[in-house]
Homo-oligomer: A and B are copies of this chain.
Amino acid sequence: MATLSISRRLRRTPFSDGVEAAGVKGYTVYNHMLLPTVFRSVEEDYHHLKNAVQVWDVACERQVELRGPDAGRLMQMLTPRDLRGMLPGQCYYVPIVDETGGMLNDPVAVKLADDRWWISIADSDLLYWIKGIANGWRLDVLIDEPDVSPLAIQGPKSDDLMARVFGDGVRDIRFFRYGIFDFQGRDLVIARSGYSKQGGFEIYVEGGDIGMPLWNALFEAGRDLDVQAGCPNLIERIEGGLLSYGNDMTDDNTPHECGLGRFCNTQTAIGCIGRDALLRVAKEGPVQQIRAIAIEGDRVPPCDRWWPVTSRGKTVGRVSSAAWSPDFGTNVAIGMVRMTHWDEGTEVDIELPDGTRRAIVHEKFWT
């Protein structure tokens, strides 16, 4: 790991004091903000996440708020997912595409009302695209980044911890739905969602001033549940096939290549800016696609650049994320693989910086 020079530009979060007190050992930078990556070790954090409950500072999932009469129209312009049936109280995972069908971000859209939305973004300045579109199309909508910082509660004991702070009502929140709950007199949106496969919630903390009071209340309430500070876990997210924008996909990729075709209703998403470009892809299918890849041999080094996937010396794809999985006893990886080699069980080679490894392509991830 390298050393990170801190500055105001790499923004702290409302929870940074808590993260530091919990002994954070590594960061990445995400939406110009600090995102913790490791507390004890990536493997210890991984085991704990699967067995207990963690509190994650994911304030870097910044919100883009759309407000005004054209908010709904604008939201549909951004994504090939058909939003007509979506109701307030729901969250949708929405691929965001440009006019060529290239992915600009893969956020979660939170519908607060017909004329008010939050978009909980991955690592790109989606605010800029949306503001540009709204300006150019002269839409009647206000767009900004509100003072809202998600705090995730993840792991099998999430319901128990959350019920102690917010009441048993949180147990009734369904997957990708949200409810409004009180904390110290403030209404907070709480959704059943999060960037792990272990279950849990995301609290949209509105107002940075209550960040640390909420952080402290959760740790106070969860002492006997072995609550720990955590963060999105590299191993667990690869096992579960949770993609990372900028790692596993870029604006060169269509949603279909990313395996997100099921979130594209290209025929009915009328008004989507990338619709024309995606109609053909939707019909013919992509020529390369995201796959799970098991890499043989010892623990792989950190994947800090694309590793070519080859077959008899010819490049047929690339690996973008990889880690050793203690639970599955293999190196788990995410990569983009051409259709000639994407079938279950295909043997390929992976060109790591320190040599070539054998690997097996899988159609399903490890959960």
Q: Taking beta carbons and an 8 Å cutoff, which residues of A are in contact with B? A: 1-10, 12, 24-29, 32, 37-38, 98-99, 104, 123-126, 128-138, 244-247, 273, 302-306, 320-321
CA distance A2 to B6 in the complex (A): 7
Q: B7 near A99 (CB under 8 angstroms)?
A: no
CB distance from A1 to the nearest CB of B (A): 5
Pick the contact of A4 from B27, B129, B133 — CB < 8 Å? Answer: B27
* Closest residue of B by beta carbon distance from A30: B9
Given known contacts A124-B125, A125-B125, A132-B129, is B26 in contact with A4 (CB within 8 Å)? Answer: yes
CA distance A273 to B132 in the complex (A): 10
Chain B positions within 8 Å of A134 at CB level? 132, 136
Q: A28 near B1 (CB under 8 angstroms)?
A: no
* Closest residue of B by beta carbon distance from A145: B251
Most chain B CB within a 10 A radius of its CB, from A3, A24, A130? A3
CA distance A97 to B21 in the complex (A): 39
Q: B132 near A12 (CB under 8 angstroms)?
A: no
Given known contacts A8-B304, A304-B8, is B32 in contact with A3 (CB within 8 Å)? Answer: no
- Copies of the polypeptide in the assembly: 2
Most chain B CB within a 10 A radius of its CB, from A8, A25, A135, A302? A8
Q: A273 near B135 (CB under 8 angstroms)?
A: yes
Q: B9 near A1 (CB under 8 angstroms)?
A: no
Q: B3 near A3 (CB under 8 angstroms)?
A: yes
Chain B positions within 8 Å of A1 at CB level? 3-6
Given known contacts A98-B131, A133-B135, is B2 in contact with A2 (CB within 8 Å)? Answer: no
CB distance from A65 to the nearest CB of B (A): 14
Other 12 A-B pairs with CB < 8 A, given A6-B302, A32-B123, A124-B125: A1-B5, A4-B4, A4-B29, A5-B38, A7-B244, A7-B247, A7-B302, A28-B29, A32-B124, A99-B135, A125-B125, A135-B273
Given known contacts A2-B3, A4-B1, A5-B38, is B128 in contact with A104 (CB within 8 Å)? Answer: yes
Pick the contact of A303 from B2, B8, B104, B244 — CB < 8 Å? Answer: B8
Nearest 3 pairs of A and B residues by beta carbon: A136-B136, A132-B132, A9-B246
CB distance from A133 to the nearest CB of B (A): 4
CA distance A4 to B37 in the complex (A): 9
